[in-house]
Each structure stands twice: as structure tokens, then as C-alpha cells.
Amino acid sequence: MAFKKGFSALVFAFPTVLGLVSPQKRAVCSDGTTVANAQCCNLVQVRDDLINNLFTNECGDAAHGALRLIFHDAIGIDPVAGGGGADGSIATFNATELTFPANQGIDDVLDTEGPFILKWADVLTPGDFIQFAGAVSLSMCPGAPQVKFVMGRPAPVAASPPNLVPNPFDPVTMILNRFGSVNISPQEVIALLASHSVAGADDVDPTIPGTPFDISPSTFDTQIFIDVQLRGTLFPGDGPNQGEVQSPVQGTLRLQSDHDLARDSRTACFWQTLATNQQQMQSQFADAVFKLSLLGQNQNDLVDCSEIIPAAPAFTGTPTFPPALTSADIEQACASSTFPDLPTEPGPPLVVPPIPQADDS
């Protein structure tokens, strides 16, 4: 086996040595992955370190945090105010960016992911690392798409300006305008919110850290689009808190922004479409999240290393209403078609447990 690996490396290196082909050619990495660019092979060891030691093979708190971080770094760019976008400034200039109110909770993410950013600084810039970790984090979550990853982002030069990351209490128009200013459409905003299917809040209601946004926070399913369309009836903790509205299931928390985007005439029908369409949700999310990873960057300067990103386990379930809830509990918002009638998951009303926190152990 060792001989075979050495042999194939030689075969691939030989034409390069002779100057017959340009050096950036197909290569087979140590794990057997074939890549278009030999540079990408350096990422194999980083990927495996993240999977084994940061995410510990779970779609849990560390994976959720890595996914959130790609957004909070990338969205830090404005056509007028500037900012580098997906440049890693949220890590390098954390002393500034973590003071922004919308970045509440990112300190926890940097506590866990930060040491890996620093450990692999000779392989990936902070901007590359954050987008890479986010792409790899999705492979932990059943039902998630395989997203593209490109590398070569320069080191960040400055902190992002303040007030660029959306807050959960911002009105829909403000949120859509913020994304629109960086060329992300209302439909792409909704597609990006599929991320809230593997997510929860620590700080919206600080009395109940790790409270999930839907009933299945370890699965990248369409449940977030179903749960948020149901009539809210309760606060899971001591709510209402700023940016929080009532949720339909004990142990889950609803963001005001998710609630309003599900009911706004500009976005409600697309929201409803994604509620029962796993494949469309996957592909539209994958496209939108890749676009996010390019904010402030020129794709032509970046090397495609997508082959290094593993596929997530498949999601085999089907969309359902949570136990005891039916289409009578849907708040119909799309004017042109009715929310699909779904089977109700059997059993008594759920009390969804909190997501175990990465720093608990």
C-alpha cells in the first residue's frame, strides 16, 4: 500500500519535473482523493483534524458555530462603508468585531474554532479557514448539501465596519436591503436561512442557552420552514426577549426575523416552497452559501478545492408536522398557494432538549 502511494505520487510528479505540464495539475492526495490542483492536498489533514477534534463527528454546537461564523465574517462588507467580506477579519480583528451587538455569541465560536485557525495558519489564511470549516461542518449534518470551497483569500487588512450583520429584531425591509446591497436576492436570503435548521440560540434568551430553532437541530432538513410557519403559542424560557417571538413547540425558540420573513409577501411563497422540498433547499442553499463565501473576493484569483469537502449523510425522513400539530396550526402567508398538508408526527407534544454546548465538556 505504501509502495503504491509512493509510486502514484512519482507518476504524477514525473511530467512536472520534466516541465511537460504546468505544475498546478491533477494530483492524488494521501487519502486517495483526486484533486484538480495539488495545493488542495494540504487541506486533507486540516479537514480530518476539524472532523475528529473540533466537530467530533457530530452536527452539534461546534458545527453549528462554524456555520454561523461563515456568515458573520462574510456579511461584514458594504458597498459604501467598505469591509473585506469573507476575509477572516472576524477572527484577526476579533477585539473590534466581537463588540458589535449582532456578533453576540461569536466569542464562544472563536473560543472553540480559534485555536484551529491559529494552528493551521501556515496552510490557510483566516478567511479561507472560516469558509473551509463552515463547508466541512455541513458534512456532519445529515441532509446538508456538499458546498463548494475555494482557497486563496488574502489575509484581512482591517476590521469590518459596525452595523452590517443583521439583527433578529431588524424589520424585513432592512434585512432584505442589507443583503441586497451585496447582491444577495430575497430568495437567496430565504435559502440561506436553511442554516437555521441546524442552529439554536445561546444569547437571545440567556436563561436557556442552546435552545434550537426547530425540532431537529442535528439534521439539515426542511423542518425550520415548517416549524416557523406554525402559530406561535409559547416562550421556551423567560421571553419575550428582544428579537424573539412565540414558538409552537416547547424547547424551541423562534427568531422574530425568521417569523417575519416567513410571513412577508416578498418571501412567504418561496419560504413555503422550501418547507417540503429537501432537494431544492439543498441546491439553493449550496449556491447561496458559496456566493456568500466569495463576498469581497475575486473568484478568478482563488483555487477550487471542492473535492476536499466530504458529502453529508443523506436525510431519509419526510416532512411532518410536530406531534399534536396540524395544518390548522399553520399561519397561511403565501397568497397564491396553500401550505401543503403534511402527516403529523405521532406521539405526545414534544419538549425539545437543548443542544449540548461545546464548552460544557
Ligand X SMILES: *[C@@H]1O[C@H](CO)[C@@H](O)[C@H](O)[C@H]1NC(C)=O
Q: Which residues are annotated as a binding site?
A: 73, 85, 87, 89, 196-197, 214, 221
Residues of span 282-311 touching ligand HEM by CB under 6 A: 289
Q: Please report whether residue 91 would count as binding ligand X according to CB under 6 A.
A: yes
The CA distance from 50 to 317, in Å, is 27
Pick one of ligand HEM, ligand X, none as the site partner of residue 127 (Cβ within 5 to 8 A by kind). Answer: none
Residues of span 98-117 touching ligand X by CB under 6 A: 110, 114, 117
Q: Please report whether residue 250 would count as binding ligand X according to CB under 6 A.
A: no
In contact, 132 and 69? CB cutoff 8 Å: no
| 259 annotated active-site | no
Pick one of ligand X, ligand HEM, none as the site partner of residue 150 (Cβ within 5 to 8 A by kind). Answer: none
Q: Interacting stretch for ligand X, rule CB under 6 A, among 91-99, 143-151, 285-293, 338-346?
A: 91-99
Residue from 94, 104, 112, 185 touching ligand X (CB under 6 A): that is: 94
Q: Taking the alpha carbons of 36, 38, 40, 41 in that order, is the dihedral positive or negative?
A: positive
Q: Interacting stretch for ligand HEM, rule CB under 6 A, among 16-24, 35-43, 62-70, 340-348?
A: 62-70
Which positions make up the binding site for heme b? 196
Name the nearest CA neighbour of 273 among 344, 187, 195, 345: 187
Nearer to ligand HEM, 29 or 176 (CB): 176
Which positions make up the binding site for Ca(2+)? 73, 85, 87, 89, 197, 214, 221
Longest dimension (CA), the chain: 71
E strands in 127-210: 150-151, 200-201
Q: What is the dihedral of CA 118, 124, 126, 127, to 10 degrees?
A: -170
Name the nearest CA neighbour of 255 among 239, 268, 271, 278: 239
Nearer to ligand HEM, 244 or 321 (CB): 244
CB of 91: closest distance to ligand X in angstroms?
Answer: 4
In contact, 40 and 303? CB cutoff 8 Å: yes
Q: Tell the residue number behind the cell numbers 473535492, with chain if given.
A: 307
Q: Which of 47, 64, 68, 72 is catalytic?
A: 72
Q: Interacting stretch for ligand X, rule CB under 6 A, among 87-95, 138-146, 215-223, 332-340?
A: 87-95
- Cα 359 to Cα 19, 111, 216: the distances in Å are 51, 9, 21
**Paired residues of 330 in beta bridges:** 230
Q: Please report whether residue 168 would count as binding ligand HEM according to CB under 6 A.
A: yes
Contact footprint for ligand X (CB under 6 A) = 91-92, 94-95, 110, 114, 117-118
